[in-house]
Structure 1
């Protein structure tokens, strides 16, 4: 990592495992400490105390004030909670503090003060309790990050997938998976693969229906929408094929036939990645003017506060953020 632009790591929901795995990542990787936390200092102090570490939490008011000294974890103050939310408990205060950390991190990322953002997990019910109607990180990033369109890419060392639709019901996903959404996802998959160093990305698009519709026997979305989008993207010079049956395309990608798969809806794309292990997967938001990654798991309230959470997925997300080039994150405008 260069010494010029640090990464920002948001604390996540204060009642979840986010603060704990952040502390553990700092302790486990002394050679990779050019980063700061965006969040609440008291939350991070509680996590450090719970783990029994002598690590000191140092509040800072700006990125420039962070000296990145050994033994100190710098925390850019996004909130100052008077009373800490109980561990493993949904609360409006926790949802608001988590959101404030994300918003502050987005602001410094848009200003170019940090290379990118790594986000610890948030709890959607806590956001709702705070009166925040965002389904998740991606929608917050899209609204506050100044992006025309965004897409979620899930990646590990075996397979990568970009989603056409994200957090919505399956019925709504079918309605949203129109021609424009297909084109956005294909273009972002292409630029996302480039940002990972893949010089000539080979993209496969999964079908929406069983057997990719069987020529219209099981649904006509492939014929009416998906195939025309693939042909239009190929006319732009993108190496994309399909639609391929969703039950086999990820197996083909894993064996090396494709570099990235465009999936039509949330579970179609996430199940194959998560099946290979939560500690190996990373969530990358494409289309933003800055890098954003996150671990491929949630707040884990069932183990929060017990000191047993594994920081491996956060470390993987951190390493991807270092690897990604923000200039390649946007889709080409056509």
Structure 2
């Protein structure tokens, strides 16, 4: 079976993205599972190889199929947009923000053309994007716009545990106000469609409770009674395998044990804490509802250690692994 080609835009050059990409490419398990193609600046990747001390040689390609996917080779689609005389690690730079966007843009283009099976992204910096004149706040917004996807879904995966998010970057007060029956129904349906697109067709989705012990039937909080339960009941009547609300102090553990195929978290930190406490380094973000597959490390640019070679590649390896596992359902 031919191994899928996974595009890896190297992220903000001033961060750890180039280093973790190089380390992941050199990993024997990664090499045995996928053909990895970096998208980025040649000088930046040469520097990353020197910093990490890896026995890698860069092979540049314009067509992903022309790569030399073998031990000791780092295949690179070159976009040489960094002036190394002005480059500095660990600092917000408009040059680096614009460059990072261009790497992502090319990766999406290759995926839309089906020249690569999936995209596994490295960290970018929101301030650098803004300084570079890029009018997006992050990866999800970029992927949504460039793929024509109105509202991409985010799913975390770690050790087989899958977590969706009803709300994300809003205040906790606002998140509580957004727990509404129709929103829950819409998200469950869209999450089911995403799971199907990933080949996950068996099992039941659980909806987490919002209040402690799911409010104890309205004793302390009634969102479960007025919004969550009616949503679940209507979804069940429509044929969806969904249950809840399940207390947030147990639902993630139950899903990890295999009782549920996924969990709909009702607010950002509810799901983030569960995933990252389970395994911080192996938590991977999967963006769905798009015509292409994107996975990502779930950490930042780590400007404080960029350029030192200390950055862990574990999350990058996991992002490539998950992209490889799900890619057959997208790439034909």
The normalised TM-score by structure 2 is 0.88
> Within the alignment, does 1:201 sit opposite 2:203 as a pair?
yes
Q: Identify the residue that residue 142 of structure 1 maps to in structure 2.
A: 144
Kept in 2: contact 1:190–1:201 (CA 8 A):
no
Deviations 1:130-166 (A, max 9, x none): 2434332222212222224321111112522111122
Q: Identify the residue that residue 132 of structure 2 maps to in structure 1.
A: 130
Q: Identify the residue that residue 53 of structure 1 maps to in structure 2.
A: 54
Q: Identify the residue that residue 103 of structure 2 maps to in structure 1.
A: 101
| Partner SS state of residue 227, structure 2 | helix
Query: What's the CA shift for 1:48?
Result: 0.8
Q: Identify the residue that residue 211 of structure 1 maps to in structure 2.
A: 213
> Within the alignment, does 1:2 sit opposite 2:2 as a pair?
yes
**Residues in 1 aligned to 2:226 and 2:54: alpha-carbon distance in whole angstroms:** 59
| Partner SS state of residue 261, structure 1 | strand
CA RMSD of aligned residues (A): 2.5
Query: What's the CA shift for 1:64?
Result: 4.3
**Residues in 2 aligned to 1:263 and 1:143: alpha-carbon distance in whole angstroms:** 25
> Within the alignment, does 1:317 sit opposite 2:316 as a pair?
no
Query: What's the CA shift for 1:201?
Result: 2.1
Q: Identify the residue that residue 332 of structure 1 maps to in structure 2.
A: none
Q: Identify the residue that residue 254 of structure 1 maps to in structure 2.
A: 256
By relative contact order (CA 8 Å, sep 6+), the higher-ranking structure is 2
Within 5 Å, give how 1:47-196 maps onto structure 2: 47-68=48-69, 70-83=71-84, 85-194=87-196
Query: What's the CA shift for 1:229?
Result: 2.7
**Residues in 1 aligned to 2:55 and 2:160: alpha-carbon distance in whole angstroms:** 38
Kept in 2: contact 1:289–1:326 (CA 8 A):
no
Structure 1 residue runs of 5 or longer lacking an equivalent are 330-334
Query: What's the CA shift for 1:19?
Result: 0.7
| Partner SS state of residue 279, structure 2 | coil
| 1:178–1:13 CA distance, 2 compared to 1 (3 A) | farther
Deviations 1:98-154 (A, max 9, x none): 111112111111121111100011122222332434332222212222224321111
Higher mean C-alpha deviation, range 192-201 or range 310-319: 192-201
Query: What's the CA shift for 1:33?
Result: 5.3
Structure 2 residue runs of 5 or longer lacking an equivalent are none
| 1:8–1:181 CA distance, 2 compared to 1 (3 A) | farther
Number of residue pairs the alignment of both structures matches: 328
Higher mean C-alpha deviation, range 169-178 or range 153-162: 169-178
| 1:116–1:158 CA distance, 2 compared to 1 (3 A) | closer
Q: Identify the residue that residue 40 of structure 2 maps to in structure 1.
A: 39
Query: What's the CA shift for 1:328?
Result: 7.2
Deviations 1:188-218 (A, max 9, x none): 4334444555442211101233333443454
Higher mean C-alpha deviation, range 304-313 or range 81-90: 81-90
Kept in 1: contact 2:209–2:246 (CA 8 A):
yes
| Partner SS state of residue 38, structure 2 | strand
Q: Identify the residue that residue 266 of structure 1 maps to in structure 2.
A: 268
**Residues in 1 aligned to 2:196 and 2:143: alpha-carbon distance in whole angstroms:** 21
Kept in 2: contact 1:192–1:328 (CA 8 A):
no
Query: What's the CA shift for 1:234?
Result: 1.9
Deviations 1:238-286 (A, max 9, x none): 2101122223321222333222110011111111110012222211112
